[in-house]
Structure 1
């Protein structure tokens, strides 16, 4: 994985990015408890004191991995999410407009969860955190999951011409978003059952269309 940057990195920054990438791989593969700083150092090609210098300890590195994921999400989806949240907060959004925002968010989410290997590494880290929480879990919940699911829940309520905040729409938002785990957490099973080698452009469109049909049911319900 090549972590996103805005300008050329200094040697120290390159080392830090390499440790962050190695940490993300090890945490995604072994979980926080199973990964060791010695393992991460070997994968990054550095010594243990270098990890301590940049991140303090294993807990600090894990939080830094989670923070990097939140920031990547913000860079990729923030304009869309902020515009949708602003529209929802105005109180004048029509049901049709809310549904349009939901369609656009679903398209962006499908693209994110079916992205290339670089994006998949962050997805694997996130999935591990869902089942085995480490020090970075709170950062992911507060900076990624809670606001994202909350936005979908509010838009779903508006699309159903109901007041946001109802438990039914909140549960619906959770179920809609987690349906995409068919192509993350259980992707090997899904692809084998469907006879797909990978999710190419046409099949990604199919997944997006099916996600929108699930949304049809929630809005119509």
Structure 2
């Protein structure tokens, strides 16, 4: 007597293939992230990424598409996490009531510092990649839709506190704040070289001085 099989329920073998597919996709994206961080978007090649991921060129195409599509996906998966954390932090501040510029700076910077301090080498690679991107205007069109909406939400809150501040000044102070954050996360070698003291392995250890530096700069610039 034949048995009826519910085809809507994946079999164990199907589950296994899906899991392996997800793992392979993650490996491809991780490898692409490292390659883009090490050499930049223009210099990295699909062949190089395939070697780094230990997969064939066809697997790269299947899971990542073109190099441009792969680049966008690498950025988007990190941005989704950061945007969610920053949006939640901003909502919590606004629900609390009175908000200061220091509060806004802390809410914007700390999620990134916390993630970067987990010791995940992929987030370090992402930090190095973003440090490359922000210094080159050619990448702005590729990333504006990922980063700008949440940045504008924070700028709007700063504007409420400094209503006379112009749009360019507001955009400038946030951009400089982001640059300071990325510098701390991507490399602290110069701090060690100038101070003659070993630096912390955790970017989060610099939270207090970074927040005070950026908040103080914003306060002075918009005064």
Shorter-chain TM-score above 0.5: yes
1:61 CA displacement = 1.3
1:139 CA displacement = 4.8
Unaligned runs of at least 5 residues, structure 2: 1-15
The 5-angstrom pairing of residues 1-221 of structure 1 reads 10-83=19-92, 87=94, 96-99=98-101, 100-112=103-115, 116=119, 117-132=121-136, 138-144=141-147, 146-160=148-162, 162=163, 166-185=167-186, 187-200=188-201, 204-219=204-219, 221=223
For the 8 Å contact 1:26–1:35, the answer to whether it is kept is yes
Paired residue secondary structure (2:55): coil
Q: Distance in 1 between matches of 2:191 and 2:129?
A: 20
1:11 CA displacement = 0.6
Q: Distance in 2 between matches of 1:216 and 1:132?
A: 27
Please list the CA deviations of residues 151-191 of structure 1 after superposition, one character each: whole Å capped at 9, or x if unmatched: 3322223233x267643333222223322243145532223
Unaligned runs of at least 5 residues, structure 1: 1-7
Q: Distance in 1 between matches of 2:214 and 2:130?
A: 24
1:55 CA displacement = 2.0
1:34 CA displacement = 0.9
Q: Distance in 1 between matches of 2:218 and 2:53?
A: 46
1:49 CA displacement = 1.0
**After the TM superposition, which of the residue ranges 59-68 and 21-30 deviates more from structure 2?**
59-68
Change over 3 Å in CA distance of 1:194–1:150 after alignment to 2: farther
Q: Distance in 1 between matches of 2:214 and 2:140?
A: 28
Please list the CA deviations of residues 109-140 of structure 1 after superposition, one character each: whole Å capped at 9, or x if unmatched: 44345552332121112122223567x75453
1:14 CA displacement = 0.7
Change over 3 Å in CA distance of 1:97–1:18 after alignment to 2: same
Larger Rg: 2
What is the RMSD of the two structures over their aligned residues, measured on CA atoms? 3.3
In the alignment of these two chains, the number of paired residues is: 204
Q: Distance in 1 between matches of 2:131 and 2:23?
A: 26
Q: Distance in 1 between matches of 2:47 and 2:206?
A: 43
